[in-house]
Amino acid sequence: MPKDYKAATQWFHKAAEQGYAPAQGLLGFMYTTGQGVPKDYTVAIEWFQKAAQQGDAPAQNNLGAVYDGGLGVPKDYKLATQWFRKAAEQGYASAQYNLGIMYETGRGVSKSDATAVYWYLEASTHGDEGAKKRLEALRLSKRWDGKKPLTKQVDLPLNACTPCFQR
């Protein structure tokens, strides 16, 4: 049976309009990719925000990706980091990886390999392959000794990761 994104979008709209956060987030995702609807970042952001405000981790991560990439909004690394953190602290692997990227590159936060490693380790325990690759790259470049950092740094003063949308 072929995928019918247009029909899926109609069903997601019905659920999203009733306040169902996962449907709101999925609808936002569909608007970012143009699956079943015209690609429209403005509409996507509206749906992501509705879902994110209800605590939907994938939508929070996707809002972070929107602000990190400047997709339909001006780039705002500080805001991207805040959304990634909200999702990461819920155990959402893609957001943990994205937060690691932000710390490794110093976008939206003070650069910190130790904090990047912390978040990459968290993401890798949830199966994120990108995080495993970043850990190996940090180890090979001798920026990490292979030991787990003792703590995560979350209150660093705020100062380019490729957006990683996930659903």
Structure-model confidence comparison of residues 161 and 14, the more confident one? 14
Token pair recorded at residue 157: 């003063």
Please name the amino acid found at residue 87.
A
Distance CA 131, CA 81 (A): 17
3-state secondary structure of 165: coil
Would you state the CATH architecture of domain 60-154? Alpha Horseshoe (1.25)
How do the domains of the chain map onto residue ranges?
1-54, 60-154
23-32: average pLDDT: 96
86-91: average pLDDT: 97
3-state secondary structure of 99: helix
- pLDDT at residue 133 in the model: 93
Token pair recorded at residue 114: 């130790």
> What are the pLDDT digits (tens) for 111-165?
999 999 999 999 999 999 999 999 988 888 887 777 776 555 443 333 334 455 5
Q: Which residues of 97-115 are buried (b: 16+ CB within 10 A; e: fewer)?
A: bbbbbbbbeebbbeebbeb
**Above 80 in pLDDT, residue 32?**
yes
pTM: predicted TM-score of the whole model, two decimal places: 0.85
65-88: average pLDDT: 97
- Quote the mean pLDDT of the chain: 89
Q: What region does 116 belong to: left with phi over 0, alpha with psi -120 to 50, or beta? A: alpha
- pLDDT at residue 111 in the model: 94
70-81: average pLDDT: 97
45-74: average pLDDT: 97
78-87: average pLDDT: 98
28-54: average pLDDT: 96
